[in-house]
Amino acid sequence: MLISDLVDVVGFDHCLTDPGLRTGYEVDWTGRYRGHTVAVLRPGSIEELAAVMKLCHDAGEPVVVQGGNTGMVGGGVPLHGELVVSVARLGNLRVISNLSLQAGAGATLAAVQQAAASVGARFGVDTAARESATIGGMIATNAGGMNVVRYGPMGDQLIDAGVVLADGRYVPSLLISDDDLLGHLAGSEGTLAVVAHATLAIGPTPPDLAIAMVEVPASEIEAVVGRVGSLESVFAVELFGAREVELAAMGIGRSAPARADWLVLAECRSDGDPLPELQAAVGDLPAVVATGQREGGELWLFREALTESVARLGVPHKYDVRIPHGALNDLRATVETAAPDADIFLWGHAFSDRQRTPLANVHVNAVGVVDDEAVFDAIETLNGSVAAEHGIGTAKRHRAAAARSDLAELRMLKDRLDPKGLLNPNVLFPPQ
């Protein structure tokens, strides 16, 4: 009866019940987390989304919401037979001014970037998954991306949002009606409400550019990252090592441009030439430098190819962690000790916020036989957190209390907004 009613709302073509059509919605990007669902609903409007949620609420049917399904911690997978609601068709975009735009939850990051560029502006969050990652999902995990040192994560771009609550009520503006929910929406992992659309900040892009891939010995990494990160013109500070650049080079069929204990990929932009201050921060260290977009893009290829390159080696265990800069040199060896039967690759953002707190958001990838708990324990011995921009999901919900200081506040909001516990029931909150 419920499925029949849902078909009446979204139409036969957008209620996917055939096993072959459901498959892509029942597994996450990594391939590690798999579930099952009897139906995938693809509403094409806010009205349809609200009607779908009301029907599920009235029937007591749990729901998992998906966007681009690029998650890596099982957060968008129907692990226990929940219905899947895909917001992929809610992709409308409207540029408000050169300072803001409104994006549907299913709009891809690439589409948002193009919309911003159409008025000479830039959206502050960027990731290599830009062609498939959607705005709703990025808000859910509070994604940071490569420009986090300049702009901060998704929550810092969020001006307002319209959401559909678990019971099907549409709230067109949280800024007006529920500022508490707006403040907690980014990072709530789809447990509080379904994002229908969001008003996002955009802004001008400084015209002058300098990008450098710097070879940094282990003894200097903390100092170099600190100097580069303190530059007024800094837009990105990315970290990886010789092993990672060789892996990327193999994946894209090119020669590695640099090799060292650490490679720092730094991008600076300003209204005047930013190269002199970047060179001053780097000092005499060897570096490959680009001052044009095309040449700089060539250097960025080696960073952006890493996720796909490591996936070619097998299904990776992915640990998105946050560690202090002082622990960077201990990270690889510590994880290798915890996972001796796996190949370890790591890369990430030297800073995890625009306040430039000396905490790195590192994506640790282990290919092989791994005990996840041993790796989590190892990260915590470095005074690190096992959760960063990919969220808690299912993978780390049993450690959420240690990783999220706001968990009690989120639980109170959850109890108020979704007392039946129907929204994304398998993530973030440890079972009560």
pLDDT in tens, 208-252: 999 999 999 999 999 999 999 999 999 999 999 999 999 999 999
CATH number at 93-205:
3.30.465.10
Confidence class for position 393, pLDDT limits 50, 70, 90: confident
Q: 179-190 as b/e, with b when 16 or more CB fall inside 10 Å?
A: eebbebbbbbbb
Closest among 337, 391, 340 to 363, alpha carbons compared? 391
Whole-number Cα distances in Å, 173 to 77, 102, 199: 28, 12, 9
pLDDT at 413 over 80: yes
The amino acid present at 144, given as its one-letter code, is G
Burial of 213 (0-12, 13-18, 19+ CB in 10 A): buried
Q: Which amino acid, 314?
A: G
What is the sign, positive or negative, of the torsion defined by CA atoms of 66, 143, 126, 242? negative
Q: What is the pLDDT of residues 311-363, one digit of tens each?
A: 999 988 989 999 999 999 999 999 999 999 999 999 999 999 999 999 999 99
> What kind and span of H or E run contains 238?
strand 234-240
pLDDT, tens only, 145-157: 999 999 999 999 9
Q: Taking residues 246-271, report their average pLDDT.
A: 95
**Burial environment of residue 373 by CB neighbours within 10 A (0 to 12, 13 to 18, 19 or more):** exposed
Query: CA 53, CA 152: separation in Å to the nearest integer?
Result: 32
Q: Is the pLDDT of residue 432 over 80?
A: no
CATH T-level topology, domain 2-86:
3.30.43
Report the C-alpha gap between 308 and 121 in whole angstroms.
29
The dihedral region occupied by 424, where left means phi > 0, alpha psi between -120 and 50, and beta the remainder, is left
Q: What angle do CA 283, 326, 156 make, to 5 degrees?
A: 85
User: Does 69 score more than 80 pLDDT?
Assistant: no
User: Which pLDDT belongs to residue 73?
Assistant: 64
251-256-262-267 Cα dihedral, nearest 10 degrees: -90
* Tokens found for residue 394: 């299912």
Q: Where are the domains of the chain?
A: 2-86, 93-205, 208-381
For position 224, what pLDDT does the model report?
Answer: 98
d(CA 38, CA 7): 13
**Are the CB atoms for 125 and 150 separated by under 8 Å?**
no
Nearest Cα to Cα of residue 240 among 267, 269, 213? 213
Mean pLDDT of the chain: 93
Second-level CATH architecture of 208-381: 2-Layer Sandwich (3.30)
- Rounded Cα distance between 136 and 43, Å, is 14
Query: Out of 60-74, 216-230, 314-328, 365-379, which region has the weakest mean confidence (pLDDT)?
Result: 60-74
Q: What percent of the chain has pLDDT over 70?
A: 98
pLDDT at 428: 87
Nearest partner of 115 among 129, 126, 102, judged by Cα: 102
Least confident of 46-60, 66-80, 288-302, 348-362: 66-80
Among 23-32, 44-53, 422-431, name the most confident range.
Answer: 44-53
pLDDT band at 70 (very low <50, low <70, confident <90, very high): low
Equal fold, 93-205 vs 208-381: no
Q: Name the pLDDT band for 24 (thresholds 50, 70, 90).
A: confident
Determine the pLDDT at residue 74: 62
In the three-class reduction of DSSP (H, G, I as helix; E, B as strand; rest coil), residue 347 is classed as: strand
